[in-house]
Amino acid sequence: MRLFMFATYTHFDNYSDAVTQLASTLGDLNGLNVLEAGCGSGSYLDLSRCVVTGIDISQHQLDRNQQLAHRVCADLHVYENPTWNDSFDLIICWDVVEHLRDPKVAIEKFLQWLKPNGRLVLAYPNPQILKGYATKYTPYFVHQAFYKLASGTPFSASKTDQGPFRTFFNRDLHIIRLKTLLERYGCTIERFLSAESYQNKFIKKYLSASVVNSVNRIFLGELRDSLHHSATDFILVISKRE
């Protein structure tokens, strides 16, 4: 039985299609006050008509990001700014929370910084699938080696903060726990998208797709009847009620 929390759930075989659906869900972003949390060097979305503030722990990444009107170099775990409370129409946090030792701290700040009726886009890999468990429990150098093999990312990339980054996958990112946290702050999951990552497709070049899918179903556990067996990556649109 599909869980009620996944009433708006859609899976895409290609990540780019999920991003296109996200843009359609968000609609016109013209003039919005936007925060990119863990902004990196660029965004997946067209924010050219927005006023964008970027916060990132890496000055290298902030310097490379040309779309930012304001730049803040800080650690999301410890950064505090009461003037940001109820100030952003849209907060985007993309492939960041899995790298935080305590993502709950950051997510709670996002929910406080959102305006009433504002939205949070939270995109991160599914921790409750083969890819998530393999990333969490293998040494960092194995992570680096995989990305070098799969996408050509050099080991030296980490020296200029271009990743891959160390990944923790705190249990607070498990989707049912996250839903409970959001409800505590008067927020709901407006749209739930998943997609199959290029890493999962890369593995299927060397292992039977049916084997990979079967293993994924095992790791999905209680979610196996609610999520697609290739739901390696999530994109959530979270709405803050007035």
Query: Angle, nearest 10°, between helix axes 103-113 and 175-184?
Result: 40
Asked whether 219 and 133 are in contact (CB, 8 A), the reply is: yes
Closest by alpha carbon to 182, among 84, 128, 89, 110?
Answer: 110
The C-alpha angle 190, 34, 242, rounded to 5 degrees, equals: 45
List C-alpha distances in Å: 106 to 13, 77, 122, 159, 176. Answer: 30, 6, 11, 25, 18
pLDDT of residue 158: 64
- Specify the amino acid at residue 45: L
Residue 89 structure tokens: 């129409």
List C-alpha distances in Å: 46 to 19, 126, 157. Answer: 11, 24, 26
pLDDT tens, per residue, the chain with 242 residues: 344 457 789 999 999 999 999 999 999 999 999 999 999 999 999 999 999 999 999 999 999 999 999 999 999 999 999 999 999 999 999 999 999 999 999 999 999 999 999 999 999 999 999 989 988 998 888 777 877 777 777 766 666 676 678 899 999 999 999 999 999 999 999 999 999 998 899 899 999 999 999 999 999 998 998 999 999 999 999 999 88
Residue 126 structure tokens: 């599914």
**pTM tops 0.85, yes or no:** yes
The C-alpha angle 161, 162, 166, rounded to 5 degrees, equals: 70
Q: Does domain 4-240 have CATH number 3.40.50.300?
A: no
Query: Angle, nearest 10°, between helix axes 130-137 and 209-220?
Result: 80
User: Domain-by-domain residue ranges, the chain?
Assistant: 4-240
Tell whether omega for the bond before 164 is within 30 degrees of 0, i.e. cis.
Answer: yes
Closest by alpha carbon to 95, among 133, 121, 118?
Answer: 121
Asked whether 32 and 89 are in contact (CB, 8 A), the reply is: yes
